[in-house]
Amino acid sequence: MMLPPTPRVLALREIVGDVRALAPRGRVIVAVDGGGGTAAFADDLAEVFREAGSDTHRASVGDFHRPRADRTLLGPETPTGFYRDSFDYGTLRRVLIDPFRMAGSTGFQTAAFDEARDVPVESRWETAGPDAVLVIDGEFLLRPELRREWNASVLLVNAPERAIYEEEARPREVATILVDDSDPVAPVRVARPESA
């Protein structure tokens, strides 16, 4: 089904075209990073991939939190602690990224933990075709230990990032595509900053 050609859809189609130029075939993982508020953009991007005929799946790093007791073991959560200890990247790789990349009939999980209830979620395994797309959103996806997992990454530059993340990961320098989504009706591509 063709989506109406709104400025948002046209901008998202351009991003899908850029991603497909980088990875025309095979399983593709696209990260949407940028503080909070990435889910709506990632949902819309997934819809445009579907419009283009891709078997598209959605996930959020927010569904891979660590238990509250683990995150606050050394005291109340701090900005540094939130950056370093919030998410369970081992589980993210084990149940989502690695099996998704394997293709074939290997199942993968798009969620592992319910942060609001502070409990693991019951496994719901999915499978996908050989040219499937996974769009994952959330904070800190361009940190050094994750950035090579993505075929492409979109950074929403209008969302404020935590200072420690900006200093350690430099997401604006490593993202494939920079977007200002402060006007969700008409997101705007942003030029990469000049290197110092």
Instruction: Check if the beta carbon of residue 139 is closer than 8 Å to that of residue 31.
Output: no
Half-sphere exposure of 3 (CA within 13 A, CB side): 19
Per-residue pLDDT of the chain (196 residues; tens, 9 = 90+): 788 999 999 999 999 999 999 999 999 999 999 977 799 999 999 999 999 999 999 999 999 999 998 888 777 878 888 898 899 999 999 999 999 998 777 899 999 999 999 999 988 899 999 999 999 999 999 999 999 999 999 999 988 778 999 999 999 999 999 999 999 999 999 987 665 4
Contact 29, 97 (CB under 8 A): yes
Residue 160's Cβ-count burial label (10 Å; 0-12, 13-18, 19+) is exposed
- In this structure, which topology does domain 7-189 adopt according to CATH? Rossmann fold (3.40.50)
pLDDT tens-digit series, residues 100-144: 998 777 899 999 999 999 999 988 899 999 999 999 999 999 999
Query: What does residue 65 show for φ and ψ, rounded to 5 degrees?
Result: -70, 160
Residue 78, Cβ neighbours under 10 Å: how many?
Answer: 13
